[in-house]
Amino acid sequence: MILRRITEHVKTQNWLAVGIDFFIVVVGVFIGLQFSNWNEARQERAQEADYVQRLHDEAKAGLDGLLGWVGVYFEPRYKEYQALVIRMGEGDLDEITISDAQCDVIGNMHDFIAMPSQFPSLAEMTASGQFDLISDPTLRRTLINYRMMKDQSQVLIDNLNTSLTILPNDFPQYFEAQLTNDTPGLELTYKNCDAVGMMADKAFMNRFADTASRYNQYYNIVIDQEKTRVATMHDLLDEKLGIVHDEDQE
């Protein structure tokens, strides 16, 4: 239609009209492109908002669920472990007693299990190449750090599980095993550790030192890091979304 009009104007050598027609075409294309860009940007912002909300909900669910379990289960056990090791470092080994709580920690120190990623939507974003949708630089950096930590902790866990000693299997004479059902699922617990026998046994103490150093790394680099990073991310997302939780107000 506009092309026929331009041809007409060229034939009649109406150059001003040709110029105006041409201008209309250029402006039309420009407006069309602008609209398309604007529409795309609007869709991306909506997608970003959707991801940010999902990341928040995943962080909250993780902290209330699995990572809440870290505070209930892992932290008290790690404190028991620290108390025992500090006493061993300071004191006369003959006089050291091992409580049942500490005995259970020693018996189960070898349990190095990877924690699942708390952010399924992060994996989805990465797989679909949509990670760039996250425009907030602090949030981007925090997400990238979380992903890097996840990869590194997987490598660490593989190392921790290589040539690992299971103390109650190799030194059954020092432990009393018990099958309990008071944690989620059936679990082996240990009590009545023979502290005197353990301390006097050089082979045991060497294996204990090795396993303890692995346990220490596992707790500090895998467990504690996971909780801290998800909590930091949650705070960041709360701030970004303007969310205040009830427990924050207490």
Q: Is 61 in the site for Zn ion (CB under 5 A)?
A: no
- Of the ranges 47-55, 59-67, 87-95, 186-194, which one interacts with Zn ion (CB under 5 A)? 59-67
Beta bridge partners of residue 187, listed in sequence order: 180
The answer for residues whose C-beta is within 8 angstroms of residue 170's C-beta and 6 or more apart is 207
Could you give the string, one character per residue 96-135, with x where binding to Zn ion holds by CB under 5 A and - elsewhere? ----------------------------------------
Least gap, CB of 149 to Zn ion (angstroms): 21
Instruction: Specify the residue, 92 or 248, whose C-beta has the smaller distance to Zn ion.
Output: 248
Instruction: Specify the residue, 113 or 243, whose C-beta has the smaller distance to Zn ion.
Output: 243
Cβ atoms of residues 47 and 221 within 8 Å: no
Q: How many residues bind Zn ion (CB under 5 A)?
A: 3
Least gap, CB of 241 to Zn ion (angstroms): 7
| H-helix or E-strand spanning residue 143 | helix 137-160
Instruction: Specify the residue, 64 or 158, whose C-beta has the smaller distance to Zn ion.
Output: 64
What are the angstrom distances between the C-alpha of 90 and each of 87, 141, 212? 5, 42, 17
| H-helix or E-strand spanning residue 10 | helix 2-11
∠ CA 115-121-123, rounded to 5°: 65
Least gap, CB of 122 to Zn ion (angstroms): 16
Longest Cα–Cα distance of the chain, Å, equals: 114
Rounded distance between C-alpha atoms, residue 144 and residue 229, angstroms? 11
- Of the ranges 23-31, 66-74, 155-163, 235-243, which one interacts with Zn ion (CB under 5 A)? 235-243
Instruction: Specify the residue, 182 or 247, whose C-beta has the smaller distance to Zn ion.
Output: 247
Cβ atoms of residues 176 and 191 within 8 Å: yes
Of positions 88, 161, 238, 240, contacts Zn ion by CB under 5 A? 238
Instruction: Specify the residue, 75 or 238, whose C-beta has the smaller distance to Zn ion.
Output: 238
Which candidate, 224, 205, 225, places its Cα nearest to that of 85?
205
Instruction: Specify the residue, 150 or 234, whose C-beta has the smaller distance to Zn ion.
Output: 234
Counts for the chain of helices (H) and strands (E), in that order: 12, 2
Q: Is 243 in the site for Zn ion (CB under 5 A)?
A: yes
What are the angstrom distances between the C-alpha of 42 and each of 26, 48, 57, 121, 137? 24, 10, 23, 20, 19
- Of the ranges 11-19, 54-62, 108-116, 149-157, which one interacts with Zn ion (CB under 5 A)? 54-62
- Of the ranges 35-43, 91-99, 100-108, 231-239, which one interacts with Zn ion (CB under 5 A)? 231-239
Return residues touching Zn ion (CB under 5 A).
60, 238, 243
